[in-house]
């Protein structure tokens, strides 16, 4: 990563609050509040889905109903019980835009994306980012389709993939995150509305970075998108995901499922900058981000790399994981989780080593400020067949102020003697010496803190694609606002 201007970052950090907190005034088409079989039939009918998918959803729904009292409680987060009947499960902008041309998209929507800084416009396409934008529950526009289709790359809303590529969806949907995986994944399987679908054909190196921006706009609406990425043999794709939501006083639920499949010699790089509305400084409002992300390195020599910068959400509950099935496959997890005010984050990864000579690497940087709690929770599991497996884990926590908490909960399970598993963790604060040194050179305490925290996060930031790295560095500053002095 080249040097990006941290000065700008810092200047913006001091003036910006949550800049994505606006609400777009768009008429939406919404399913009635509450959740029962009719809601699911409504969603499925809206999307004109085939019978098999409706059945798949209903099966998941019945499973979820049976789980009703089984909302997970093991994470180190606390929140009032969610009333799943007091939420909308489907909300779509009413004037449903045609997907063929951007000119047909509601100008207000485009304005929203401009505010978000998404390169949706033609001129910005030159930047080389193909964008699928998910607004509440539906995908509104996918840019750059033509260029991608030349290479045989499929990048479209999953609802469209269901219609046009049912064989791929049917084969892979739920193959990494089974319907019964966990409470939220089961719920998502029943009610998912939209999300991105990516297929990279054999031997293709995706010519550009693919990107999805998720946005929750409507009030009292849960967002349940479903993303499915398949990298066929010898292919490569880098996928970026960004998330924002308006400032609202009530909590909103986001329960996505992301499934990645890498076949022989394929590589998927998945980067997230999660900036859902975190609630105000008193902990009012904000998104509950309960997400299941998992990748299967199914083929030999395959690789899946997760990089995440988690600065938003009132509560984050998220463990992007890798199942290393193929021999010599590689899983990576690079994470920055920043919590301030009353935010809570319980995040980490699972690396399940099954194939021979599989390798995994985990670098986690947790920063807590204000009254926030940040937990790293991770599992490294070496199965008996994973001869020669290697793992290295490093978890560092930084505390800013004496009202916050930082926790590290690693699980290490090794059942093969040839494995080498190493875990290191530290917890500390920013040293007074470092602060004085920066301030003696003219930096304010807040700027010095941002600079030092960015340094602390560097190992992860440098894994991000350039444009995301710039945004992430800015977010570090914004997220820590009000935490010093």
- Based on CB atoms, which residue is closest to another protein, 175 or 394? 394
- Residue 312: strand, helix, or coil: coil
CA 65/CA 422 separation, integer angstroms: 41
- Residue 171: strand, helix, or coil: helix
- Based on CB atoms, which residue is closest to another protein, 54 or 409? 409
Residue 389 CB, shortest distance to another protein, in Å, is 10
Which residue is associated with the tokens 């699911």?
40
- Based on CB atoms, which residue is closest to another protein, 38 or 403? 403
- Based on CB atoms, which residue is closest to another protein, 165 or 423? 423
Residue 330 CB, shortest distance to another protein, in Å, is 19
- Based on CB atoms, which residue is closest to another protein, 74 or 122? 74
CA 472/CA 455 separation, integer angstroms: 13
- Based on CB atoms, which residue is closest to another protein, 302 or 349? 349
Residue 436 CB, shortest distance to another protein, in Å, is 5
* Residue 313 near residue 338, CB atoms below 8 Å: no
- Based on CB atoms, which residue is closest to another protein, 48 or 432? 432
- Based on CB atoms, which residue is closest to another protein, 235 or 408? 408
- Residue 232: strand, helix, or coil: coil
- Based on CB atoms, which residue is closest to another protein, 163 or 444? 444
Residue 260 CB, shortest distance to another protein, in Å, is 27
- Based on CB atoms, which residue is closest to another protein, 5 or 38? 5
- Residue 299: strand, helix, or coil: coil
Residue 162 CB, shortest distance to another protein, in Å, is 35
Q: Which residue, among 348, 350, 427, has the nearest Cα to 391 in the 3D structure?
A: 350
Contacts of 266 (CB under 8 A, 6+ apart): 200, 231, 232, 233, 234, 235, 236, 299, 302, 303
CA 260/CA 226 separation, integer angstroms: 11
Residue 395 CB, shortest distance to another protein, in Å, is 9
Contacts of 290 (CB under 8 A, 6+ apart): 184, 253, 254, 255, 315, 317, 318
Residue 70 CB, shortest distance to another protein, in Å, is 8
CA 116/CA 19 separation, integer angstroms: 8
Residues contributing to the site for another protein (CB under 8 A): 3, 5-7, 10, 69-70, 74, 382, 384, 397, 399-429, 431-434, 436-445, 447-448, 451-452, 454-459
C-alpha dihedral sign at 266, 149, 168, 118: positive
Residue 147 CB, shortest distance to another protein, in Å, is 31
* Residue 425 near residue 395, CB atoms below 8 Å: yes
Kindly tell me the burial class for residue 423, based on how many C-beta atoms sit within 10 Å of its own C-beta (0-12, 13-18, 19 or more). Answer: middle
Residue 275 CB, shortest distance to another protein, in Å, is 22
Residue 22 CB, shortest distance to another protein, in Å, is 30
CA 206/CA 212 separation, integer angstroms: 15
Q: Which residue, among 6, 17, 8, 1, has the nearest Cα to 438 in the 3D structure?
A: 6
Residue 370 CB, shortest distance to another protein, in Å, is 12
The per-residue DSSP string of 64-127 comes to: HHHTTT-----SS---PPP-TTSSBS-EEESSPPPSS-GGGS-HHHHHHHHHHT---SHHHHTT
- Based on CB atoms, which residue is closest to another protein, 175 or 387? 387
Tokens (6 digits) for 13: 């950090």
Residue 408 CB, shortest distance to another protein, in Å, is 4
* Residue 257 near residue 226, CB atoms below 8 Å: yes
* Residue 317 near residue 344, CB atoms below 8 Å: no
- Based on CB atoms, which residue is closest to another protein, 21 or 410? 410
């Amino acid at each position: 990563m080249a040097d990006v201007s941290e000065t700008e970052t810092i200047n913006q950090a001091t003036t910006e609050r949550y800049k994505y907190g606006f609400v777009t005034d768009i008429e939406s088409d919404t399913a009635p509040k509450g959740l029962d079989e009719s809601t699911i039939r409504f969603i499925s009918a809206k999307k004109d889905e085939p019978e098999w998918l409706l059945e798949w959803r209903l099966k998941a729904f019945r499973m979820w109903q049976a789980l009703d009292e089984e909302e997970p409680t093991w994470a180190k987060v606390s929140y009032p019980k969610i009333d799943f009947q007091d939420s909308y499960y489907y909300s779509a902008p009413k004037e449903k835009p045609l997907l063929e041309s951007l000119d047909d998209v509601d100008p207000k929507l485009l304005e929203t994306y401009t505010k978000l800084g998404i390169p949706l416009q033609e001129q910005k396409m030159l930047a080389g980012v193909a964008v699928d934008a998910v607004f509440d529950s539906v995908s509104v526009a996918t840019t750059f389709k033509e260029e991608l289709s030349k290479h045989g790359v499929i990048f479209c809303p999953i609802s469209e993939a269901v219609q046009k590529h049912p064989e791929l969806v049917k084969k892979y949907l739920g193959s990494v995150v089974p319907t019964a995986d966990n409470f939220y994944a089961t719920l998502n399987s029943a009610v998912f509305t939209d999300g991105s679908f990516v297929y990279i054909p054999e031997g293709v190196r995706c010519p550009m970075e693919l990107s999805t921006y998720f946005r929750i706009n409507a009030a009292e609406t849960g967002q349940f998108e479903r993303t499915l990425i398949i990298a066929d043999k010898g292919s490569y794709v880098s996928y970026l995901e960004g998330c924002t939501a308006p400032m609202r006083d009530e909590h909103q639920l986001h329960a996505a499922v992301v499934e990645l499949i890498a076949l022989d010699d394929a590589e998927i790089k998945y980067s997230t900058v999660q900036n859902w509305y975190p609630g105000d400084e008193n902990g009012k409002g904000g998104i509950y981000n309960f997400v299941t992300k998992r990748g299967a390195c199914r083929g030999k020599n395959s690789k899946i790399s997760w990089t995440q910068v988690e600065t938003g959400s009132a509560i984050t509950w998220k463990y992007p994981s890798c199942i290393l099935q193929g021999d010599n496959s590689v899983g990576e997890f690079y994470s920055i989780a920043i919590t301030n005010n009353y935010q809570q984050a319980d995040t980490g990864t699972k690396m399940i080593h099954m194939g021979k000579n599989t390798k995994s690497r985990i670098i986690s940087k947790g920063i807590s400020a204000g009254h926030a709690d940040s937990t790293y929770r991770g599992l490294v599991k070496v199965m008996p067949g994973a001869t020669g497996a290697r793992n290295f884990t490093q978890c560092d926590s930084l505390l800013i102020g004496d009202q916050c908490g930082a926790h590290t909960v690693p699980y290490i399970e090794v059942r093969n003697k040839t494995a080498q598993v190493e875990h290191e963790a530290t917890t500390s604060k920013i040293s007074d010496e470092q602060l004085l040194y920066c301030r003696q050179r003219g930096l304010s305490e807040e700027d010095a803190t941002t600079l030092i925290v960015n340094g602390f996060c560097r190992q992860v930031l440098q894994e991000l694609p350039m444009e995301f790295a710039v945004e992430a560095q800015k977010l570090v500053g914004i997220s820590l606002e009000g935490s010093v002095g």
